[in-house]
Amino acid sequence: MSTIQTYDAVLLEQARKLGTSTLFEASGLQTSSVDPAIRSVWAGASVAGPAYPLECSPGDNLSIHIAMEKAPRGSILVVSTGGFIAGYWGEVLTVAAEEAGVVGLVIDGGVRDIAALTARRFPVFARGISMRGTIKASVPSVGQPISFTGTPVAPGDLLVADDDGVLVIPATRAQATLTKGQARADKEAGIMQRLLEGQTTLDLLGLSHWRNA
């Protein structure tokens, strides 16, 4: 298995709770947000962990099977397929992932067996859903840095995904982004409390001069 950046459980839980929208704003990186067409296949899915990138040829999922043996436990597979929609992943690979300690999947292709994925509560974020199977004949790359829908992904980058989308934060900026994200969340909590006390967003956001626009 590969050795990549690891994160303690407290940090990962903090990242998951802060969520992608807050952390995106805190990151200051426009490229950290993955193509919004990559969505959770079941509502409420969320996951945070180190990314493990790989590439599949269109309609070929051999790289995924190889990655399942190489990815460190706790990893989230990030699979580039060039946007080709097919059923690269289903219930069998989900069970394999659970046994291997892989905690989630982000793929710019398709997946299938959605009812089973939902029942198992395995976090999957995909471009589409397809019943079409795949071949196993080529391995473009496994465990190497990739460009995923325009977002750079290196092994060990912090990946956070939820109903708002998928975010990739470079490992070197993960802790600083979480610190800024927590400060942002605390500030917003204060704003919401003042809203409950009767203040308005125009006042709280310094926009009161627009009141008579």
| pLDDT tens readout for residues 86-108 | 999 999 999 999 999 999 999 99
pLDDT tens figures, 24-46? 999 998 889 999 999 999 999 99
Q: Quick check: 139 pLDDT over 60?
A: yes
110: DSSP letter? E
Cα separation, 106 vs 50, in Å, equals 12
Cα separation, 34 vs 40, in Å, equals 12
- Give the mean pLDDT of the chain: 95
Q: Quick check: 14 pLDDT over 60?
A: yes
Query: What is the number of alpha carbons within 13 Å of residue 192 lying toward its C-beta?
Result: 6
Cα separation, 16 vs 47, in Å, equals 6
pLDDT tens figures, 187-204? 999 999 999 999 999 989
190: which residues sit within 8 A by CB, 6+ positions away? none
Q: Quick check: 3 pLDDT over 90?
A: no
Residue-level pLDDT at 5:
80
CA triple 130-134-138, angle to 5 deg: 140
- The CATH class that applies to domain 9-171 reads alpha beta
Mean pLDDT score, 173-178 = 96
Q: What is the dihedral of CA 33, 39, 45, 49, to 10 degrees?
A: -40
Q: Are 167 and 32 in contact (CB under 8 A)?
A: yes
In degrees rounded to 5, what are phi and psi of residue 79? -115, 115
72: DSSP letter? P
Q: Are 76 and 64 in contact (CB under 8 A)?
A: no
